[in-house]
Amino acid sequence: MKKTVGLLLPLFCFLLAVLLTAPLWVLPVVGAILPRNSHENDFTAAIVDKYDRLNAIEGKKIVFVGGSSLPFGLKCDLIEGELPDYTAVDFGLYAALGTVVMMDLSLSGISEGDLVILAPETDPQLYSDFFTPRLFRTAIGNRTDLLDDLSSGRRREAANAYYPVLYDRIRQRNDPLVPESEIYARSSFNEYGDVKVERTRNKMAEGYDKSQTVSLKSLYDEGFFKEVNSYAKKVREKGATLLFWFPPINESAVAFSNKEATKFQAYLEETLDCPLLGSVTDAVYDPGYFFDTNYHLNDAGAILHTANTLLKIKAYLGLEETVAFDVPDPPSDEPEGDEILTDGVFLFEGPTWGTYAIVGVRDEVGETLTVLTIPQTFTDPGTGTEYPVTDLRSGCLSGCANLTVLTVPATIESIGSDVFRGCGKLTAVYLYGTSPSMLTVPESGLFDGAAPSLTVYVPRGTISAFGSNYSWMGYKDLLDEFDPE
């Protein structure tokens, strides 16, 4: 008996050691065996590319740290043109990773003489110690070396996420990759870390996302500012300088007064152990400069915000406050029609950008509809001209109390807030568009008002793209696939 116990004890210890150290070696091994990682072209997977570039650059750098408003809002080539003594690095990514993890990861690549610009989105989640371990482990794939740069507490959280991520990796190994044509893909970044995909105008149904208004009242998180001050100290120890700045903010989404902005500015100046580049109101811009969220800029907006940021940096450095490039005006909408038109069922408004938007359903038919298909086109009765229908405006289906099934064609480019309020019997929505980046939706609350059992069907083979998209990720639990006819 004693001999048996003596043999089993070393075996037990060996198995325990294997189990405890598994997060350090099993994922790379499994990653080498599996055909591929289905998340390797996710938007968040770019964290590895950004990390490697930051750590590879020698000489003075200007490093921008924060969320996705940075890659959507900066033109680093213009920054290098204006500040030739620095190499520009866009170290901003998806906000759901958390501001604190971006600060953690950036430290290894910061060196003497660097300027570090911390610019998180003005959102309670980003002004906190929020961190998503499972998303982070998914994003880094086999690059477990990035775990070493996390704070001890976040490293433990990431270690605890190991087994769920390994399970996901095996279960989803045959899922399609996010297409390279998607804006929310790893391949959408250029060599600086900026988003390189063309963004010509504001795509939001009403110029801003009503679910994402910007208030300052929830940003007074002492724990977050302690993290920032600790980060500032570590940056200084490396011989670098930390500056605090703000993201671009859609003017229509502003939910704070000038008095609140002044109070917030005073709090930051008193609390932060680093200089501020400006005030939060300095980064509020016309809605025409935005793209698909209240923090993401289109191409013209990125030039504007880059110029504004450069002027602030130059003021801090004591340089002449000018830029050598022109800032474009915001892309403006074409004049809308003065009257609301109808095809007998829907109410239309337009044309804007050569398209029409659905703004409602006729009262006398809305309550009787149970199955509804959004039209792809509308013919102006006055001119006989056929226009594509591209937008569903806020509340446009609120009168359809008996609607159960809705079909949305691929021509629809944006869905506004509260579209499904009052649609308590709606259990199925069929989306025919195959690209989630081509269908702009509110960040949250899109399907509020529909039945609790609602399923949103997307074309087969696109569920991974929808589930990893910046705006659609919050709705991934509602998604299922179907085969379009």
Mean pLDDT over 356-360 rounds to 94
Under 8 Å between Cβ of 208 and 70: no
Domains of the chain as residue ranges with CATH: 43-317 (3.40.50), 341-482 (3.80.10.10)
Would you give the DSSP letter of residue 66? Answer: E
Mean pLDDT over 94-118 rounds to 96
Mean pLDDT over 173-178 rounds to 87
Q: Give the model's confidence band at 352: pLDDT under 50 very low, under 70 low, under 90 confident, else very high.
A: confident
Does pLDDT of 353 surpass 90? no
Predicted confidence at residue 210, as pLDDT, reads 92
Mean pLDDT over 309-330 rounds to 97
Mean pLDDT over 394-402 rounds to 91
Task: Find the range with the poorest average confidence among 27-31, 92-96, 333-337.
Answer: 27-31
Query: Looking at the DSSP assignment, which residues form a beta bridge with residue 290?
Result: 297
Q: Give the model's confidence band at 23: pLDDT under 50 very low, under 70 low, under 90 confident, else very high.
A: low
Predicted confidence at residue 397, as pLDDT, reads 94
Mean pLDDT over 220-224 rounds to 96
Percent pLDDT > 70 in the chain is 91
Predicted confidence at residue 35, as pLDDT, reads 47
Q: How long a stretch of residues is the chain?
A: 485
Mean pLDDT over 265-289 rounds to 98
Task: Find the range with the poorest average confidence among 8-12, 278-282, 328-332.
Answer: 8-12
The pairs formed by 275-281 with CB atoms below 8 angstroms and a separation of 24 or more are 275/243, 275/244, 275/316, 276/243, 276/244, 276/245, 277/117, 277/243, 277/244, 277/245, 277/246, 277/309, 277/312, 277/313, 277/316, 278/245, 278/246, 278/312, 279/246, 280/122, 280/216, 280/246, 280/249, 280/256
Predicted confidence at residue 485, as pLDDT, reads 77
Higher-pLDDT residue of 470 and 137 is: 137
Q: Give the model's confidence band at 7: pLDDT under 50 very low, under 70 low, under 90 confident, else very high.
A: low
Predicted confidence at residue 322, as pLDDT, reads 97
Predicted confidence at residue 22, as pLDDT, reads 54
- Burial (0-12, 13-18, 19+ Cβ within 10 Å), 368: exposed
For the chain, the average pLDDT equals: 91
Q: Give the model's confidence band at 205: pLDDT under 50 very low, under 70 low, under 90 confident, else very high.
A: confident
Tell me which residue of 188, 71, 186, 72 sits closest to 140, measured CA to CA: 186
The phi, psi pair for 404, rounded to 5°, reads -115, -35
Helix (H) or strand (E) holding 431: strand 428-431
pLDDT in tens, 145-172: 999 999 999 999 999 999 999 898 888 8
Count of other CB atoms within 10 angstroms of residue 181: 14
Q: Give pTM, 2 decimals.
A: 0.89
Which alpha helices (DSSP H) does 355-452 contain, by range? 363-366
Does pLDDT of 240 surpass 90? yes
Does pLDDT of 135 surpass 70? yes
Higher-pLDDT residue of 465 and 73 is: 73
Q: Rounded CA gap, 361 and 403, in Å? A: 12
Task: Find the range with the poorest average confidence among 15-19, 60-64, 294-298, 327-331.
Answer: 15-19
Does pLDDT of 4 surpass 70? no
Does pLDDT of 2 surpass 90? no
Would you give the DSSP letter of residue 189? Answer: B
Does pLDDT of 338 surpass 90? no
Mean pLDDT over 31-39 rounds to 65
Mean pLDDT over 20-30 rounds to 54
Q: Which residue has the tokens 């504001």?
A: 202
Predicted confidence at residue 332, as pLDDT, reads 78
Tell me which residue of 212, 205, 208 sits closest to 396, measured CA to CA: 205
Q: Give the model's confidence band at 66: pLDDT under 50 very low, under 70 low, under 90 confident, else very high.
A: very high
Q: Report helix, strand or coil for 18.
A: helix
Predicted confidence at residue 408, as pLDDT, reads 97
Q: Rounded CA gap, 307 and 296, in Å? A: 16
**Alpha-carbon dihedral of residues 215, 221, 227, 228, nearest 10 degrees?**
40
Amino acid identity of 147?
L
pLDDT in tens, 404-453: 999 999 999 999 989 999 999 999 999 999 999 999 999 899 999 999 99
Tell me which residue of 252, 246, 247 sits closest to 204, measured CA to CA: 252
Predicted confidence at residue 17, as pLDDT, reads 56
